[in-house]
Chains A and B, each alone.
Chain A
Amino acid sequence: MARLQLKNVNKRWGSFVGVENFDLDIADQEFLVLLGPSGCGKSTTMRMIAGLEDVTDGQILLGDKVVNDLEPKDRDISMVFQSYGLYPNLSVYENIRFPLRVRKVPKDQHHDMVMKAIAMVELEDFMDRRPAELSGGQRQRVALGRAIVRKPTVFLMDEPLSNLDAKLRVSTRAQIKNLQSKLKTTTVYVTHDQIEAMTLADRVVVMNKGKIQQVGTPTDIYDNPANTFVASFIGSPAMNLVEGRLEDGVFSADGIRVEGLPASASGNVTLGFRAEDAEIVEEEAQISAPMYSIELLGEASMITWRLAGSLVSIKTNKEYRAEIGEVVKARIPAAICHLFDTKTGERIAHG
Chain B
Amino acid sequence: MANLANRKPPSLVFVSTAFVLFWLVVAAFPFLWTMWGSFKVEGDFFSRADWMNAITGPVTQRQNGSAFTGAGYEGAWVQQEFWRAVINTSIVVFFTVVISLTLGTLGGYALARSGFKYTFWLLMAALVFRAMPHVTLVSGYLLPFFELNIWGYLPTTIIVLVAINQPFTLWMLHSFFLSIPKDLDEAAMVDGCTRFQAFRLAIIPVMWPGVVTTGLFSFLLAYNDFTVTSMLLTQENATMIPKINSFLGSTQEEGKVMYAVAAVVSAIVPLFVLILFFQRQIVSGLTAGAVKG
Contacts and interface: CB of A to CB of B under 8 A. Distances in A.
Contacts of B194: 71, 73
A85 B180 CA distance: 10
Contacts of A83: 181, 183, 293
Interface stretch (A26-34, A95-103, A106-114, A235-243): A95-103
A87 B190 contact: no
A35 interface: no
Contacts of A87: 184, 187-188, 202, 205-206
Contacts of B183: 81-85
B192 interface: yes
B208 to A, nearest CB: 8
Given A83-B181, A83-B293, A88-B291, A71 B202 contact: no
Contacts of B205: 87, 89-90
B191 interface: yes
B201 interface: yes
B187 A81 contact: yes
Contact of A163 (B187, B188, B293): B293
A15 B263 CA distance: 65
Contacts of B184: 85, 87
Contact of A52 (B186, B290, B291, B293): B186
A52 B192 contact: no
A98 B186 CA distance: 14
A27 B202 CA distance: 33
A163 B188 CA distance: 20
B191 A98 contact: yes
B293 A73 contact: no
B193 interface: yes
B286 to A, nearest CB: 19
B17 interface: no
B64 interface: no
A77 interface: yes
Contacts of B191: 73, 78, 98-99, 102-103, 146
Contact of B189 (A52, A89, A90): A52
Interface residues of B, number: 21
A50 interface: yes
Contact of A73 (B192, B290, B291, B292): B192
A85 B191 CA distance: 11
Interface in A243-273: none
Nearest to B201: A102
A52 B184 CA distance: 12
A71 B293 contact: no
What's the dominant secondary structure at chain B's contact region? helix
B245 interface: no
A126 B205 CA distance: 22
B293 A77 contact: no
A19 interface: no
B197 interface: yes
Contact of B186 (A85, A86, A89): A85
A180 B15 CA distance: 66
A133 to B, nearest CB: 13
Nearest to B184: A85
A197 interface: no
A351 interface: no
A77 B186 CA distance: 12
A18 interface: no
Interface in B225-270: none
Interface in A48-103: 50-52, 71-73, 77-79, 81-90, 98-99, 102-103
Contacts of B292: 132
Given A89-B206, A102-B201, A84 B190 contact: no
Contacts of A71: 189, 194
A73 B193 contact: yes
Nearest to B193: A102
B206 A88 contact: yes
A209 B15 CA distance: 64
A50 B9 CA distance: 62
A89 B202 CA distance: 9
A72 B201 contact: no
A87 B293 CA distance: 10
A132 B201 CA distance: 18
A223 B186 CA distance: 38
A229 B291 CA distance: 39
Contacts of B197: 102
Interface of B: 181, 183-184, 186-194, 197, 201-202, 205-206, 290-293
24 contacts: A50-B190, A52-B190, A71-B194, A73-B189, A73-B192, A77-B190, A79-B190, A81-B183, A83-B181, A83-B293, A85-B186, A85-B187, A86-B187, A87-B188, A88-B206, A89-B205, A89-B206, A98-B188, A98-B191, A98-B201, A99-B192, A102-B192, A102-B193, A146-B187
Interface of A: 50-52, 71-73, 77-79, 81-90, 98-99, 102-103, 132, 143, 146, 156, 163
Given A85-B181, A87-B206, A99-B192, 9 more contacts: A73-B189, A79-B187, A79-B190, A83-B181, A84-B183, A84-B293, A85-B187, A146-B191, A163-B293
The 4 closest A-B pairs by CB, nearest first: A85-B187, A85-B183, A83-B293, A99-B191
